[in-house]
Amino acid sequence: MVELLEVSKESIERIIHSYECSQRYALAIMQDMQRTYQYVPREGLEALAEYLGCPVSALYAMATFYKALSLVPKGEHTIKCCDGTACHIRGASTLIDGIERELGIRPGETTKDGLFSFETVNCLGSCALAPVLVVDDVYYGKVTLEKLREIIEDVRKGGAA
């Protein structure tokens, strides 16, 4: 079970006040919150809005626009499965089904133990390697269901395939 760092007013304030009070730093501050907590907590958005003197809705719009930010806790490891044209034609839907079966989650969800989050993406720019998965910024090409199981097992053991 992955332990999420408890959100505290003090830790949020530390992150926020490490930046100059300027709206141009809003995204960087939210990225720091994402790294610290594995998501951008509501308390963080509210404190940041107060610090910058802007509406929470403006920060919420930014947080929902950028795929790198999440308003719900993410897993320790993120699996991204490409479902772009080349990957789709070469079996991405089979991989998506396999990930759903192996992990018991659908795209956009996180496993109960907090170890994995799963996302589908439109393109990873590696069409020649289709179908492609990215796990924690490590690319895996020409992935089969057998290779998928090996990748997941290796990540569970603490390594990369």
**pLDDT tens, residue by residue, 31-78:** 999 989 989 999 999 999 999 999 999 999 999 998 789 998 889 899
* Percent of the chain predicted with pLDDT > 70: 95
The structural domains of the chain, with segments of one domain joined by +, span 9-65, 77-156
Alpha helices in 41-91 (DSSP H): 42-52, 56-65, 85-89
The burial class, CB within 10 Å (0-12 / 13-18 / 19+), for 91 is middle
5 pLDDT band, cuts 50/70/90, is low
| Contact (CB, 8 A) for 34 and 69 | yes
Would you say 141 and 132 are in contact if contact means Cβ atoms under 8 Å apart? yes
Q: Annotated binding site: which residue ranges? A: 82, 87, 123, 127
> Going along the chain, which residue ranges are E strands?
77-82, 116-121, 133-135, 138-140
Residue 116 in 3-state DSSP? strand
Residue 2: the pLDDT is: 46
How crowded is the C-beta side of 13, counted as CA atoms within 13 Å? 3
Annotated binding site for [2Fe-2S] cluster: 82, 87, 123, 127
Tens-place pLDDT, residues 91-147: 999 999 999 999 999 999 999 999 999 999 999 999 999 999 999 989 999 999 999
The SS3 call for residue 110 is strand
| Angstrom distances, CA of residue 159 to CA of 26, 49, 136 | 33, 39, 11
**Range 77-156 has CATH code 3.40.30.10:** yes
